[in-house]
């Protein structure tokens, strides 16, 4: 199909659906979908751009479900979204100026600390303790959104985990609402990066749109599952995905 054997097409489609569902629940779906896209057999620069477009479409699917279920804090996101977008654009720009590898040891350390903290604190993110907005937590959120947006545009791995953890720690939200808010900011960061890929012509639109449609429904289903099962279901996914991301970065860095 489209120059691709049917069995390969089905294989990539199934993995894309699963990846989008996992990503909607706890982030990290790119660990599944990006290798699947690499198996299509197109040049790597087209793989990255096509995957970014499909992932952006997937994020729209999950965001719609979280929004219609009331699992987003729109009163907060109106402050964070513009700063996240600017941060991501700046990150993409700086990426072209310096070596991204200088960040790897720091990110590995932060992911490890975040993972241990989440495992040790048994009740973290299981209840929604959000008490409303005030000047202090709005400023903290704006700084967080800008910094993680920059990181998303500059480097990327673990962005979903950092956003999810930040909403829990800064605002006391549970895993489900934190995931809904994190998906919006992740979508904004993806869109900022996508603009660059479109500008440089690094997208194979046929594959990106077809698998993007599959990932849209995968993201929608994953969000529905997260909302119906609650924080006790999402937290183990968060720990697993963060552990895999950490392991992947350690292996690529030191082995």
DSSP secondary structure string for all residues of 177-206:
HHHHHHHHHHHHHHHHHHHHHHHTT---HH
CA distances from 255 to 30, 248, 250 (A): 21, 10, 8
Task: Please state the rounded mean pLDDT for residues 5-29.
Answer: 90
Q: Flag whether pLDDT at 58 surpasses 80.
A: yes
CA 29 from chain center: how many Å?
A: 7
Q: Flag whether pLDDT at 1 surpasses 60.
A: no
Backbone angles phi and psi of 46, in degrees to 5: -75, -35
Q: How confident is the model at residue 176 (pLDDT cuts 50, 70, 90)?
A: very high
pLDDT at residue 102 in the model: 67
pLDDT at residue 253 in the model: 74
> How do the domains of the chain map onto residue ranges?
6-254
Q: How confident is the model at residue 128 (pLDDT cuts 50, 70, 90)?
A: confident
pLDDT at residue 152 in the model: 82
Q: Flag whether pLDDT at 73 surpasses 90.
A: yes
CA distances from 196 to 91, 105, 192 (A): 12, 27, 7
SS3 of residue 91 by DSSP: helix
pLDDT at residue 68 in the model: 95
Question: Quick one: what percent of the chain has pLDDT higher than 70?
Answer: 95
Q: How confident is the model at residue 118 (pLDDT cuts 50, 70, 90)?
A: confident
pLDDT at residue 100 in the model: 57
For 97-115, how does the pLDDT look when each residue is reduced to its tens digit (9 = 90+)? Answer: 766 566 678 778 888 888 8
For 218-254, how does the pLDDT look when each residue is reduced to its tens digit (9 = 90+)? Answer: 999 999 999 999 888 899 988 888 888 888 878 877 7
- Hunting for tokens 């199909």 — which residue is that? 1
Backbone angles phi and psi of 230, in degrees to 5: 85, -175
pLDDT at residue 106 in the model: 76
Q: Flag whether pLDDT at 168 surpasses 90.
A: yes
- Hunting for tokens 């699992």 — which residue is that? 71
Q: How many CA atoms lie within 13 A of 180 on its CB side?
A: 25
- Hunting for tokens 């729109």 — which residue is that? 74
Check residues 2 and 167 and name the one with the higher pLDDT.
Answer: 167
pLDDT at residue 122 in the model: 79
Give the list of residues 6+ apart from residue 229 with CB closer than 8 angstroms, or none: none
Q: Where are the alpha helices (DSSP H) in the chain?
A: 6-26, 30-38, 44-68, 74-95, 104-120, 135-154, 159-171, 175-199, 205-229, 231-254
pLDDT at residue 223 in the model: 96
pLDDT at residue 215 in the model: 96
- The conformational region for residue 173 under phi > 0 = left, psi -120 to 50 = alpha, else beta, is beta
Q: Measured in Å, how far apart are the chain's first and last C-alpha atoms?
A: 38
Q: How confident is the model at residue 159 (pLDDT cuts 50, 70, 90)?
A: confident
């Amino acid at each position: 199909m489209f120059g691709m054997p049917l069995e390969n097409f089905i294989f990539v489609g199934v993995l894309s659906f699963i990846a989008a569902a996992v990503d909607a629940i706890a982030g990290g779906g790119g660990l599944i979908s990006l290798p699947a896209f690499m198996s299509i057999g197109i040049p790597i620069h087209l793989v990255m751009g096509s995957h970014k477009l499909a992932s952006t479409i997937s994020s729209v699917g999950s965001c719609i479900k979280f929004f219609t279920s009331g699992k987003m804090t729109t009163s907060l996101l109106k402050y964070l979204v513009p700063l996240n977008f600017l941060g991501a654009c700046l990150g993409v720009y700086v990426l072209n100026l310096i070596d991204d590898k200088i960040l790897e040891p720091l990110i590995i350390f932060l992911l490890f600390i975040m993972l241990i903290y989440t495992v040790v604190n048994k009740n973290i993110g299981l209840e929604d303790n959000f008490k409303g907005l005030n000047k202090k937590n709005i400023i903290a959120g704006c700084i967080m959104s800008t910094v993680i947006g920059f990181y998303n545009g500059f480097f990327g791995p673990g962005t979903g985990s950092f956003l999810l953890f930040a909403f829990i720690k800064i605002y006391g939200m549970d895993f489900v609402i934190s995931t809904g808010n994190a998906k919006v900011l992740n979508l904004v960061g993806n869109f900022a990066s996508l603009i660059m890929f479109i500008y440089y012509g690094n997208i194979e639109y046929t594959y990106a749109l077809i698998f993007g449609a599959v990932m849209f429904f995968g993201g929608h289903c994953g969000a529905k599952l997260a909302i119906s099962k609650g924080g006790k279901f999402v937290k183990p996914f968060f720990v697993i995905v963060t552990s895999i991301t950490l392991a992947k970065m350690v292996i690529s860095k030191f082995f």
